Amino acid sequence: MKAKELALSLLFLILAGSCAHTSTDKDRASARIRYDIAMQYFSQNDLRATLRELLATVELDPELPQAQHALGLVYFSMGRYDEALAHYNRAVELKPNFSEALNNRGIVYIELGRYDEAIASFKLALSDILYAEPHTAEANMGWAYFKKQDIDQALKHLRNAVATNPKFCLGYSWLAQVELARGEGGQAVAYCRRFEKQCLDDENVRAKVPPGFVQEMKYYLGRAYQATGDVIGARDAFTACAKSGLDNDLGTRCDRSLTELQ
Protein backbone atom coordinates (compact mmCIF):
# COMPACT_ATOMS: atom_id res chain seq x y z
CA MET A 1 0.00 0.00 0.00
CA LYS A 2 1.35 3.44 -0.88
CA ALA A 3 2.20 5.83 1.95
CA LYS A 4 -0.61 8.25 0.98
CA GLU A 5 -3.21 5.47 0.88
CA LEU A 6 -1.98 4.14 4.22
CA ALA A 7 -2.28 7.58 5.78
CA LEU A 8 -5.82 8.00 4.50
CA SER A 9 -6.79 4.56 5.80
CA LEU A 10 -5.38 5.36 9.24
CA LEU A 11 -7.20 8.71 9.22
CA PHE A 12 -10.47 6.95 8.37
CA LEU A 13 -10.00 4.51 11.26
CA ILE A 14 -9.27 7.37 13.65
CA LEU A 15 -12.34 9.30 12.54
CA ALA A 16 -14.55 6.21 12.66
CA GLY A 17 -13.38 5.48 16.17
CA SER A 18 -14.00 9.04 17.27
CA CYS A 19 -17.64 8.85 16.06
CA ALA A 20 -18.46 5.82 18.18
CA HIS A 21 -20.24 6.72 21.42
CA THR A 22 -19.44 4.73 24.54
CA SER A 23 -22.04 5.41 27.21
CA THR A 24 -20.82 6.06 30.72
CA ASP A 25 -22.81 5.29 33.85
CA LYS A 26 -23.68 8.99 33.98
CA ASP A 27 -24.89 8.88 30.36
CA ARG A 28 -27.08 5.86 31.05
CA ALA A 29 -28.57 7.49 34.15
CA SER A 30 -29.30 10.67 32.18
CA ALA A 31 -30.80 8.59 29.36
CA ARG A 32 -33.23 6.98 31.80
CA ILE A 33 -34.37 10.39 32.98
CA ARG A 34 -34.90 11.60 29.40
CA TYR A 35 -36.73 8.37 28.58
CA ASP A 36 -39.13 8.83 31.52
CA ILE A 37 -39.80 12.41 30.41
CA ALA A 38 -40.45 11.15 26.87
CA MET A 39 -43.01 8.64 28.13
CA GLN A 40 -44.82 11.39 30.02
CA TYR A 41 -45.10 13.37 26.78
CA PHE A 42 -46.23 10.24 24.95
CA SER A 43 -49.03 9.67 27.48
CA GLN A 44 -50.17 13.21 26.64
CA ASN A 45 -50.05 12.40 22.90
CA ASP A 46 -47.40 15.06 22.31
CA LEU A 47 -45.46 13.19 19.65
CA ARG A 48 -43.00 15.95 18.78
CA ALA A 49 -41.91 16.42 22.38
CA THR A 50 -41.73 12.66 22.81
CA LEU A 51 -39.55 12.31 19.74
CA ARG A 52 -37.24 15.11 20.89
CA GLU A 53 -36.67 13.46 24.26
CA LEU A 54 -36.23 9.99 22.80
CA LEU A 55 -33.63 11.18 20.31
CA ALA A 56 -31.76 12.75 23.20
CA THR A 57 -32.12 9.47 25.09
CA VAL A 58 -30.57 7.29 22.40
CA GLU A 59 -27.80 9.80 21.85
CA LEU A 60 -26.84 9.27 25.48
CA ASP A 61 -27.47 5.51 25.46
CA PRO A 62 -27.98 3.93 22.01
CA GLU A 63 -28.32 0.48 23.61
CA LEU A 64 -31.42 1.15 25.70
CA PRO A 65 -33.99 -1.22 24.13
CA GLN A 66 -36.98 0.52 25.71
CA ALA A 67 -36.02 3.78 24.02
CA GLN A 68 -35.60 2.08 20.64
CA HIS A 69 -39.03 0.50 21.09
CA ALA A 70 -40.57 3.83 22.06
CA LEU A 71 -39.10 5.43 18.94
CA GLY A 72 -40.83 2.70 16.97
CA LEU A 73 -44.13 3.62 18.63
CA VAL A 74 -43.70 7.30 17.82
CA TYR A 75 -42.71 6.79 14.20
CA PHE A 76 -45.59 4.33 13.75
CA SER A 77 -48.00 6.90 15.17
CA MET A 78 -46.64 9.36 12.61
CA GLY A 79 -47.21 6.89 9.78
CA ARG A 80 -43.47 6.53 9.16
CA TYR A 81 -43.47 2.75 9.03
CA ASP A 82 -39.98 2.14 7.68
CA GLU A 83 -38.42 4.13 10.50
CA ALA A 84 -40.67 2.43 13.04
CA LEU A 85 -39.57 -0.96 11.74
CA ALA A 86 -35.90 -0.03 11.99
CA HIS A 87 -36.26 0.90 15.65
CA TYR A 88 -38.33 -2.17 16.52
CA ASN A 89 -35.64 -4.31 14.89
CA ARG A 90 -32.98 -2.53 16.91
CA ALA A 91 -34.95 -3.06 20.12
CA VAL A 92 -35.18 -6.78 19.38
CA GLU A 93 -31.47 -6.96 18.58
CA LEU A 94 -30.71 -5.46 21.97
CA LYS A 95 -33.29 -7.58 23.79
CA PRO A 96 -34.26 -10.72 21.80
CA ASN A 97 -37.12 -11.67 24.14
CA PHE A 98 -38.70 -8.19 23.97
CA SER A 99 -42.21 -9.49 23.28
CA GLU A 100 -43.89 -6.08 23.15
CA ALA A 101 -41.43 -4.95 20.48
CA LEU A 102 -41.92 -8.21 18.57
CA ASN A 103 -45.68 -7.72 18.66
CA ASN A 104 -45.48 -4.10 17.53
CA ARG A 105 -43.00 -5.02 14.81
CA GLY A 106 -45.56 -7.49 13.52
CA ILE A 107 -48.15 -4.71 13.35
CA VAL A 108 -45.83 -2.68 11.14
CA TYR A 109 -45.32 -5.69 8.89
CA ILE A 110 -49.11 -5.94 8.51
CA GLU A 111 -49.29 -2.29 7.50
CA LEU A 112 -46.55 -2.93 4.94
CA GLY A 113 -48.38 -5.99 3.57
CA ARG A 114 -45.61 -8.34 4.72
CA TYR A 115 -47.94 -10.84 6.34
CA ASP A 116 -45.64 -13.85 6.65
CA GLU A 117 -43.03 -11.74 8.42
CA ALA A 118 -45.75 -10.37 10.68
CA ILE A 119 -46.89 -13.86 11.63
CA ALA A 120 -43.31 -14.91 12.36
CA SER A 121 -42.85 -11.91 14.63
CA PHE A 122 -46.08 -12.62 16.51
CA LYS A 123 -45.04 -16.24 17.00
CA LEU A 124 -41.79 -15.08 18.58
CA ALA A 125 -43.75 -12.81 20.92
CA LEU A 126 -46.01 -15.70 21.91
CA SER A 127 -43.04 -17.95 22.61
CA ASP A 128 -42.28 -15.85 25.69
CA ILE A 129 -44.29 -17.45 28.52
CA LEU A 130 -43.78 -14.28 30.59
CA TYR A 131 -45.45 -12.01 28.03
CA ALA A 132 -48.17 -10.16 29.94
CA GLU A 133 -50.56 -9.74 27.00
CA PRO A 134 -50.34 -12.82 24.77
CA HIS A 135 -53.91 -12.28 23.56
CA THR A 136 -52.83 -9.16 21.67
CA ALA A 137 -50.12 -10.99 19.72
CA GLU A 138 -52.47 -13.90 19.03
CA ALA A 139 -55.22 -11.59 17.78
CA ASN A 140 -52.75 -9.68 15.61
CA MET A 141 -51.57 -12.98 14.19
CA GLY A 142 -55.17 -13.88 13.40
CA TRP A 143 -55.64 -10.57 11.62
CA ALA A 144 -52.47 -11.15 9.60
CA TYR A 145 -53.82 -14.54 8.53
CA PHE A 146 -57.09 -12.86 7.53
CA LYS A 147 -55.19 -10.34 5.45
CA LYS A 148 -53.50 -13.19 3.59
CA GLN A 149 -56.94 -14.80 3.17
CA ASP A 150 -56.36 -17.80 5.43
CA ILE A 151 -59.77 -17.71 7.12
CA ASP A 152 -59.39 -20.91 9.15
CA GLN A 153 -56.16 -19.78 10.81
CA ALA A 154 -57.59 -16.29 11.30
CA LEU A 155 -60.60 -17.63 13.19
CA LYS A 156 -58.48 -20.03 15.21
CA HIS A 157 -56.17 -17.34 16.57
CA LEU A 158 -58.85 -14.68 17.03
CA ARG A 159 -61.02 -17.11 18.98
CA ASN A 160 -58.03 -18.05 21.12
CA ALA A 161 -57.43 -14.37 21.84
CA VAL A 162 -60.93 -13.64 23.17
CA ALA A 163 -60.96 -16.95 25.05
CA THR A 164 -57.73 -15.91 26.80
CA ASN A 165 -59.10 -12.43 27.51
CA PRO A 166 -62.90 -12.12 27.15
CA LYS A 167 -62.58 -8.34 27.67
CA PHE A 168 -60.40 -7.92 24.57
CA CYS A 169 -62.87 -5.74 22.67
CA LEU A 170 -60.94 -5.41 19.42
CA GLY A 171 -61.02 -9.19 19.05
CA TYR A 172 -64.81 -9.18 18.69
CA SER A 173 -64.62 -6.54 15.96
CA TRP A 174 -62.12 -8.60 13.99
CA LEU A 175 -64.12 -11.79 14.48
CA ALA A 176 -67.27 -10.06 13.25
CA GLN A 177 -65.44 -8.81 10.17
CA VAL A 178 -64.01 -12.24 9.38
CA GLU A 179 -67.42 -13.88 9.77
CA LEU A 180 -69.03 -11.26 7.52
CA ALA A 181 -66.31 -11.82 4.93
CA ARG A 182 -67.15 -15.53 4.79
CA GLY A 183 -70.91 -14.90 4.72
CA GLU A 184 -71.66 -16.07 8.26
CA GLY A 185 -74.01 -13.31 9.39
CA GLY A 186 -75.32 -15.27 12.35
CA GLN A 187 -71.83 -15.75 13.77
CA ALA A 188 -71.07 -12.07 13.21
CA VAL A 189 -74.22 -11.15 15.17
CA ALA A 190 -73.07 -13.43 18.00
CA TYR A 191 -69.66 -11.74 18.22
CA CYS A 192 -71.19 -8.26 18.15
CA ARG A 193 -73.48 -9.28 21.00
CA ARG A 194 -70.56 -10.74 22.94
CA PHE A 195 -68.81 -7.40 22.52
CA GLU A 196 -71.81 -5.67 24.09
CA LYS A 197 -71.88 -8.12 26.99
CA GLN A 198 -68.16 -8.21 27.71
CA CYS A 199 -67.24 -4.61 26.90
CA LEU A 200 -70.29 -2.38 27.18
CA ASP A 201 -72.15 -4.03 30.06
CA ASP A 202 -68.98 -3.77 32.15
CA GLU A 203 -68.78 -0.14 33.32
CA ASN A 204 -65.02 -0.25 33.88
CA VAL A 205 -64.36 -1.56 30.38
CA ARG A 206 -66.95 0.64 28.72
CA ALA A 207 -65.24 3.76 30.07
CA LYS A 208 -62.16 2.82 28.04
CA VAL A 209 -63.96 2.05 24.77
CA PRO A 210 -63.87 5.01 22.32
CA PRO A 211 -67.32 6.15 21.08
CA GLY A 212 -66.17 5.64 17.51
CA PHE A 213 -65.47 1.98 18.21
CA VAL A 214 -68.95 1.49 19.70
CA GLN A 215 -70.40 3.08 16.56
CA GLU A 216 -68.29 0.80 14.37
CA MET A 217 -69.61 -2.28 16.18
CA LYS A 218 -73.18 -1.09 15.59
CA TYR A 219 -72.37 -0.88 11.91
CA TYR A 220 -71.05 -4.45 11.85
CA LEU A 221 -74.10 -5.58 13.82
CA GLY A 222 -76.36 -3.95 11.23
CA ARG A 223 -74.50 -5.66 8.40
CA ALA A 224 -74.66 -8.96 10.24
CA TYR A 225 -78.42 -8.75 10.77
CA GLN A 226 -78.80 -7.71 7.15
CA ALA A 227 -76.88 -10.83 6.08
CA THR A 228 -79.29 -13.01 8.07
CA GLY A 229 -82.35 -11.30 6.59
CA ASP A 230 -83.36 -9.70 9.89
CA VAL A 231 -84.48 -6.29 8.62
CA ILE A 232 -85.74 -5.06 12.00
CA GLY A 233 -82.47 -5.92 13.74
CA ALA A 234 -80.49 -4.31 10.93
CA ARG A 235 -82.59 -1.16 11.09
CA ASP A 236 -82.14 -0.82 14.85
CA ALA A 237 -78.37 -1.28 14.61
CA PHE A 238 -77.90 1.10 11.68
CA THR A 239 -80.10 3.70 13.41
CA ALA A 240 -77.96 3.51 16.57
CA CYS A 241 -74.87 3.89 14.40
CA ALA A 242 -76.27 6.87 12.48
CA LYS A 243 -77.45 8.62 15.67
CA SER A 244 -74.26 8.09 17.62
CA GLY A 245 -73.64 11.83 17.73
CA LEU A 246 -70.38 11.47 15.81
CA ASP A 247 -69.98 13.47 12.62
CA ASN A 248 -68.03 11.04 10.47
CA ASP A 249 -68.14 8.95 7.30
CA LEU A 250 -69.38 5.88 9.18
CA GLY A 251 -72.51 7.73 10.28
CA THR A 252 -73.16 8.64 6.65
CA ARG A 253 -72.64 5.01 5.64
CA CYS A 254 -75.17 3.88 8.26
CA ASP A 255 -77.69 6.45 7.00
CA ARG A 256 -77.19 5.08 3.50
CA SER A 257 -77.69 1.53 4.74
CA LEU A 258 -80.94 2.57 6.41
CA THR A 259 -82.17 4.04 3.13
CA GLU A 260 -81.34 0.80 1.33
CA LEU A 261 -83.47 -1.15 3.83
CA GLN A 262 -86.58 0.81 2.85
Which burial class, exposed, middle or buried, applies to 192 when counting CB atoms under 10 A from its CB (0-12, 13-18, 19+)? buried
> Structural domain tally of the chain?
1
Decide if 176 is inside a domain: yes
Distance CA 238, CA 216 (A): 10
Residue 19 has pLDDT above 60, yes or no: no
Decide if 237 is inside a domain: yes
Decide if 194 is inside a domain: yes
| Nearest Cα residue to 173 out of 126, 226, 212 | 212
Decide if 87 is inside a domain: no
Using DSSP's 3-state secondary structure scheme, residue 114 falls into coil
Decide if 4 is inside a domain: no
Decide if 241 is inside a domain: yes
- Give the mean pLDDT of 126-137: 95
Query: Residue 205: which domain range?
Result: 166-262
Distance CA 106, CA 113 (A): 10
Residue 13 has pLDDT above 60, yes or no: no
Percent with pLDDT over 70 in the chain: 92
- Mapping DSSP onto H, E and C, the string for 38-61 reads HHHHHHCCCHHHHHHHHHHHHHHC
pLDDT digits (tens, 9 = 90+) for 143-191: 999 999 999 999 999 999 999 999 999 999 999 999 999 999 999 999 9
Confirm whether pTM is higher than 0.85: yes
What does each C-alpha distance from 22 to 6, 71, 167, 262 come to in angstroms? 27, 20, 45, 71
Residue 20 has pLDDT above 60, yes or no: no
Distance CA 91, CA 67 (A): 8
More confident residue, 217 or 18: 217
Distance CA 53, CA 41 (A): 9
Q: How far is CA 135 from the centre of its chain?
A: 12
Is residue 158 within 8 A of residue 142, CB to CB? The reply is: yes
Predicted pLDDT of residue 23: 73
pLDDT digits (tens, 9 = 90+) for 194-247: 999 999 999 999 999 999 999 999 999 999 999 999 999 999 999 999 998 898
Containing H/E element for 80? none
Decide if 200 is inside a domain: yes
pLDDT digits (tens, 9 = 90+) for 26-48: 889 999 999 999 999 999 999 99
Decide if 207 is inside a domain: yes
Instruction: Output the domain CATH number for residue 254.
Output: 1.25.40.10
Residue 1 has pLDDT above 60, yes or no: no
- Give the mean pLDDT of 87-105: 97
